[in-house]
Chain A
């Protein structure tokens, strides 16, 4: 296999509140021999909120990000479901609508850029599964996760709308997704089967509809716990922020103690590949997770 090389769109959280996501992603890529070029020019994807305010501006900024991956001639990988969604939405909108593409390019020309539509956009999870291959991941496992029941939490924006994502996510079915389950199995962990795995964590209404947000996150965390999960894993740092940071307040809302370590997808892979404690960065979690590092 020739060496895989990707342009990494880090997104905002990996540069701020979830540094462990970035360090574990880079560590996993290195262990797997995947070359990563960080798009240091890339700005915020808008997270659907900027889109609510000014859709055209959001398209312009996302198109600019994609331009930098195109300049390198690389597939752009994301490590956040919401970055994936919003970047892919812009790509989809511009690729199918030449008038919009021309309008956006008129703005981009002012800063010497042009969106062409030549780069694919893929979440790192699917780059690992569909391009690197689970058999190859399996060969690299040094610390099997066979002692762990792991609840996969898929996060909405990687699996819905399926029509948008199907080419980037290996036609994952949003009603019965299995990519994370298969990754857990490849790392010799035990995937937990529970109803909430493809449900919403409530992150996006954290501020304006806090009760809704807490109940949605609580339902999923308790469902995982009730099905004997030792930990939860998610490919989305926004799901992670909601599910890891707010377990105290979620416990109050739900009237039950919620206590479950939540890991980013690359952190879980990093554990199995024997990355260092520092790279995995479990100390940055609000809900204690350092006990999971056993090497």
Chain B
């Protein structure tokens, strides 16, 4: 009885229209969307749908594929804006999520060569820029192995699982706006080699990833990369660790971003809360404050800046209850300094 049920559910298919982004950079002026009717089975992957478009509907449909088991990283695309590795993503799951209306898109529309195939050169350039290898003086005739404890290895084990598919890189909104930003994949790789105990280029990598305009401080903290990674690496967690390492290893330069991170404590020690005005002044410096005068005036006009003491910004923030506990905890728990 249960066996015949099983067979019925195996035969269940869903009739849908799959849309696909089509564009040939050599011949097309504009991209367009083409529709393909098909019946989708419950075990089919997005890669199966792409194969069927190519084999059963239109042989010119182009995409990258190779290993078909989630290790070569070739088949990363987007479906309705969601980054997926086509060979790992069940199709019915996405049809359910998007109400049977799905569009296959390249990872980055502005980098399309043909259909799903994009030019990933920016990805590889950024990856190469952070020295994605162990830098070490290796004895050509070693008498023993380079030993690493399990704990030391575990520090970078998950970040080492990256397959360079680019899913996180092209899901990153900071990178879309700021082409200089290294992006989550390169930063994950920077972390992976920096915490490797055999490596000696950690400080150099930390300096590269600390650059304002291209490094970790330009991450917008949206967590799109954590969501996009098909290997569950959580790149933003590694970006957070790179932030931390700057302070742990004492190589952080004092600038608007590092002062902004450290400056939170200034308010917390005084009132328990962040001091919104002080954090801007402290991070930017008094000279940098002029940029914010217009905004400050508008905020004052609409009552966003309080005047409890009769003078704006002075004693304008209430204090939390038991503030002494917070002060004591900071005193005994703070581990880093700028």
Contact = CB atoms under 8 A, between A and B. Distances in A.
B52 to A, nearest CB: 23
B298 to A, nearest CB: 5
Contacts of A42: 272, 320
A286 B304 contact: yes
Contacts of B338: 53
A54 interface: yes
B274 A207 contact: no
B333 to A, nearest CB: 4
B177 A215 contact: yes
Contacts of A12: 267, 273-274, 276
A53 B247 contact: yes
Interface residues of A, number: 63
9 contacts: A42-B320, A43-B323, A54-B247, A54-B335, A57-B335, A161-B223, A175-B97, A207-B284, A283-B302
Given A15-B317, A204-B220, A110 B302 contact: no
A157 B213 CA distance: 23
B273 A209 contact: no
A44 B334 contact: no
The winner among B260, B299, B306 for most chain A CB atoms within 10 A is B260
B217 A208 contact: yes
A175 B81 contact: yes
Contact of B218 (A162, A175, A209, A215): A209
Contacts of B298: 245, 248, 286
A70 B227 CA distance: 30
Contacts of A176: 80, 97-98
A205 B260 CA distance: 10
Contact of A111 (B255, B302, B304, B325): B325
Given A52-B243, A53-B262, A156-B222, 16 more contacts: A17-B305, A43-B268, A44-B267, A53-B336, A107-B333, A108-B329, A110-B329, A160-B224, A160-B226, A161-B226, A161-B227, A205-B174, A212-B218, A248-B298, A283-B303, A286-B298
Given A53-B336, A111-B328, A156 B221 contact: yes
The winner among A49, A53, A110 for most chain B CB atoms within 10 A is A53
A47 interface: yes
Interface in B210-266: 212-213, 217-224, 226-227, 234, 240, 243-244, 247, 255-258, 260-262, 264-265
Interface of A: 12-13, 15-19, 40-44, 46-57, 60-61, 64, 107-108, 110-111, 113, 156-157, 160-162, 173-176, 195, 199-200, 202, 204-205, 207-209, 211-213, 215-216, 245-246, 248-249, 283-286
Contact of A216 (B220, B260, B321): B220
Contact of B178 (A64, A110, A209): A209
By size class, the interface of chain B is 35 or more
A200 B332 contact: no
A60 B330 CA distance: 9
B61 to A, nearest CB: 24
Given A175-B97, A284-B303, A212 B220 contact: yes
A55 B244 CA distance: 7
Interface of B: 80-82, 97-98, 173-174, 177-178, 181, 212-213, 217-224, 226-227, 234, 240, 243-244, 247, 255-258, 260-262, 264-265, 267-268, 272-274, 276, 280, 283-284, 294-295, 298-299, 301-306, 316-318, 320-323, 325-326, 328-330, 332-336, 338
Contacts of B212: 208-209
Nearest to A44: B274
B302 A41 contact: no
The winner among A156, A195, A249 for most chain B CB atoms within 10 A is A156
A293 to B, nearest CB: 15
Given A44-B273, A161-B234, A173-B97, A208 B218 contact: yes
A103 B125 CA distance: 41
Contact of B276 (A17, A61, A212): A17
Nearest to A246: B295
The winner among A52, A113, A199, A200 for most chain B CB atoms within 10 A is A52
The winner among A17, A56, A211 for most chain B CB atoms within 10 A is A17
Contact of B326 (A64, A215, A245, A246): A64
A245 B320 contact: no
Nearest to A210: B291
A209 B218 CA distance: 6
A245 B272 contact: no
A212 B177 contact: yes
Contacts of A44: 264, 267-268, 272-274
B82 A175 contact: yes
A213 B218 CA distance: 10
